[in-house]
């Protein structure tokens, strides 16, 4: 005999035939109707509910709306129903009055164990009504409000209800909008950590908060700031990536050197791109095997963080290549609020390819490969990341800039692009440029140093040009030009 029946994706006529046949299933315990044209045939369902004492009824995405849902709730007579153990009314706008009717029924119902209102659009008033009901209800073990707008008021109401009832429950808040995810979420996390609330609450941000020590939790709550270093990587990185779309942060510091891959870059970028209110970001991803695709994915996320004022981006030794580095450079041009920018792209095969990195890096496990000639490589580097820097003058608020592309091979053309970009950043007050070992030659090095004359507001400047095959006479000329700069604090390394 059939005890469980699922009807899905049926039009009104086919559904009507199925519902008319329900009387042939006298021992039916579970009925699920999903994405069907139920409204025209609702009367048949209501008649069946009078005859069959179901244990489970799941109605989802059937466009019953408020009136249809009201009729179902009345037919179930939940106040006195001692049979129904599970009810789902998800993915329909069921209305405030119906949520409150369900809440009222829960006060006296002693049979219902599971109530699913996922994506049913309950209002904050409805959530508060449900919270008040579960203070008195002792049998409901699982409540799903996923996709709802909880807000701080609703979250505090649920917290109080869970604390007061003392019943072990599973509360699903996946995809809920918490507003600023502030004091209420932190309070709920602490209550779960200390056992004041029994059971579990499913929500990626809340699950992440529950993993934090009180000091970190307090900093996140009060300053909307979070820091993660290598020591906490294994435990917290994946939960953080899942939580990022739900967290509202102002400052984020990730020191993940020697960890990760392009897959983890994707996971991080997916969450990071939602942090549109972020004002300060520090990403230290030194030697993480991101590769070209990882660089591009990360760049795509960065371009969305248009409220950033300070950015530190350490991507050295990630083999992101010209295309990945160009994507990163281009993403920076979208960050028009930046006042401070630090970017490290050392040993990333810019203009030379992975083989050049292997040749340069004495720690590489690969066999050394002869360093390519500049004529074969310099132009390629220039047409990628360094040419993208010509867009940096669009960052009108930028005051402090650190830029490091050492140990690549950007060549004379790349140096010319750097110089062009710098001379147009006339608002800069602080500048540090690392171009060590880049085959600049005298012409490239001279272009970079002479561009500094065009920066009238500089008070501090540091330039590193070692390893560019400069003769002693060329070095003296460069020092003379540099020393003539009217800058308070300056340093050049040749």
pLDDT score of 62: 93
Would 124 be classed as within a structural domain?
A: yes
- 242 shares a domain with 127: no
- 182 shares a domain with 315: no
Would 332 be classed as within a structural domain?
A: yes
Q: 380 vs 452, which has greater pLDDT?
A: 452
State the total domains in the chain: 2
Kindly report, residue by residue over 20-35, the tens digit of the pLDDT.
999 888 889 999 999 9
- 247 shares a domain with 198: no
Kindly report, residue by residue over 67-114, the tens digit of the pLDDT.
999 999 999 988 788 899 999 998 778 888 999 999 999 999 999 999
- 152 shares a domain with 110: yes
Evaluate if residue 386 carries a pLDDT over 80.
no
Evaluate if residue 361 carries a pLDDT over 50.
no
Give the pLDDT band (50/70/90) at residue 374: very low
- Which range, 226-230, 290-294, 403-407, 470-474, has the best average confidence (pLDDT)? 470-474
Would 268 be classed as within a structural domain?
A: yes
Boundary residue ending a domain (209, 237, 258): 209
- 369 shares a domain with 290: yes
- 399 shares a domain with 276: yes
pLDDT score of 142: 96
pLDDT score of 161: 93
Evaluate if residue 488 carries a pLDDT over 80.
yes
Boundary residue ending a domain (164, 186, 209): 209
User: Residue range 154-159: average pLDDT?
Assistant: 92
pLDDT score of 357: 31
- 429 shares a domain with 330: yes
- Contacts of 11-17 with C-beta under 8 Å, sequence gap 24+, read 11/36, 11/37, 12/37, 12/40, 12/41, 15/41, 16/40, 16/41, 16/44
pTM of the model: 0.81
Domain that includes residue 426, residue range: 224-493
- 72 shares a domain with 172: yes
Kindly report, residue by residue over 420-463, the tens digit of the pLDDT.
889 889 999 999 999 999 889 999 999 999 999 999 999 999 99
Would 216 be classed as within a structural domain?
A: no
Would 58 be classed as within a structural domain?
A: no
In the predicted model, what is the mean pLDDT of the chain? 86
Kindly report, residue by residue over 326-348, the tens digit of the pLDDT.
888 889 889 999 999 999 988 77
pLDDT score of 281: 96
Would 322 be classed as within a structural domain?
A: yes
Kindly report, residue by residue over 173-202, the tens digit of the pLDDT.
998 877 666 788 889 999 999 999 989 999
pLDDT score of 259: 57
pLDDT score of 181: 62
CATH code, domain carrying 276:
3.80.10.10
- 420 shares a domain with 311: yes
Kindly report, residue by residue over 118-150, the tens digit of the pLDDT.
988 788 999 999 999 999 999 999 999 998 888
Boundary residue ending a domain (209, 239, 260): 209
- 343 shares a domain with 204: no
- 199 shares a domain with 253: no
Per cent of the chain over pLDDT 70 is 88
Would 357 be classed as within a structural domain?
A: yes
Evaluate if residue 385 carries a pLDDT over 60.
no
pLDDT score of 176: 84
Contacts of 456 (CB under 8 A, 6+ apart): 426
Evaluate if residue 382 carries a pLDDT over 70.
no
Would 51 be classed as within a structural domain?
A: no
Evaluate if residue 9 carries a pLDDT over 90.
yes
Evaluate if residue 377 carries a pLDDT over 70.
no
Q: Which two tokens stand for residue 39?
A: 């409204």
Burial class from Cβ neighbours inside 10 Å (0-12, 13-18, 19+) for residue 367 reads: exposed
- 251 shares a domain with 201: no
State how far the Cα of 192 lies from the Cα of 185, in Å rounded to an integer. Answer: 11
């Amino acid at each position: 005999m059939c005890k469980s029946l699922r009807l899905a994706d049926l039009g009104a006529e086919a559904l009507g035939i199925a519902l008319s046949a329900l009387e042939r299933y006298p021992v039916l315990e579970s009925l699920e109707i999903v994405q069907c044209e139920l409204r025209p045939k609702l009367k048949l369902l209501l008649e069946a509910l009078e005859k069959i004492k179901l244990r489970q009824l799941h109605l989802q995405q059937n466009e019953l709306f408020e009136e249809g849902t009201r009729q179902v709730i009345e037919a179930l007579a939940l106040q006195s129903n001692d049979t129904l153990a599970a009810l789902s009314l998800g993915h329909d706008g069921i209305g405030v009055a119906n949520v409150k009717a369900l809440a009222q029924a829960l006060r006296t119902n002693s049979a219902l164990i599971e109530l699913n209102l996922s994506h049913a659009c309950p209002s904050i008033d409805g959530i508060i009504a449900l919270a008040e009901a579960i203070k008195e209800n002792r049998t409901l073990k699982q409540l799903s409000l996923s996709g709802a707008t909880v807000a701080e008021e609703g979250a505090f109401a649920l917290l109080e209800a869970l604390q007061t009832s003392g019943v072990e429950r599973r509360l699903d808040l996946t995809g809920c909008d918490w507003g600023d995810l502030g004091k209420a979420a932190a309070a709920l996390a602490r209550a779960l950590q200390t056992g004041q609330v029994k059971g579990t609450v499913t929500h990626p941000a809340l699950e992440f908060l529950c993993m934090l020590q009180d000091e970190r939790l307090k900093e996140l709550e009060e300053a909307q700031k979070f820091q993660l270093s290598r020591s906490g990587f294994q435990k917290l990185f994946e939960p953080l990536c899942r939580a990022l779309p739900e967290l509202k942060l102002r400052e984020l510091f990730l020191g993940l050197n020697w960890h990760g891959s392009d897959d983890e870059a994707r996971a991080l970028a997916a969450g990071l791109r939602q942090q549109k209110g972020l004002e300060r970001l520090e990403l230290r991803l030194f030697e993480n095997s991101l590769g070209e695709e990882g660089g591009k994915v990360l760049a795509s996320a960065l371009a969305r963080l248009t409220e950033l004022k300070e950015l530190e981006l350490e991507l050295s030794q990630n083999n992101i290549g010209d295309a990945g580095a160009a994507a990163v450079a281009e993403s920076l041009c979208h960050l028009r609020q930046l006042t401070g920018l630090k970017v490290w792209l050392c040993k990333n095969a810019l203009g030379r390819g992975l083989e050049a990195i292997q040749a340069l890096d004495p720690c590489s496990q690969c066999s050394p490969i002869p360093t390519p000639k500049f004529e074969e490589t310099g132009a390629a580097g220039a047409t990628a990341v360094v040419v993208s820097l010509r867009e940096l003058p669009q960052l009108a608020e930028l005051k402090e800039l650190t830029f490091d592309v050492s140990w690549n091979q950007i060549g004379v053309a790349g140096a010319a692009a750097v110089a062009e970009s710098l001379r147009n950043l006339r608002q800069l007050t602080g500048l540090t440029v690392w171009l060590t070992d880049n085959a600049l030659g005298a012409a490239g090095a001279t272009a970079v140093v002479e561009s500094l004359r065009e920066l009238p507001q500089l008070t501090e400047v540091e330039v590193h040009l070692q390893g560019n095959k400069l003769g002693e006479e060329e070095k003296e000329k460069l020092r003379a030009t540099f020393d003539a700069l009217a800058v308070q604090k300056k340093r050049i390394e040749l």
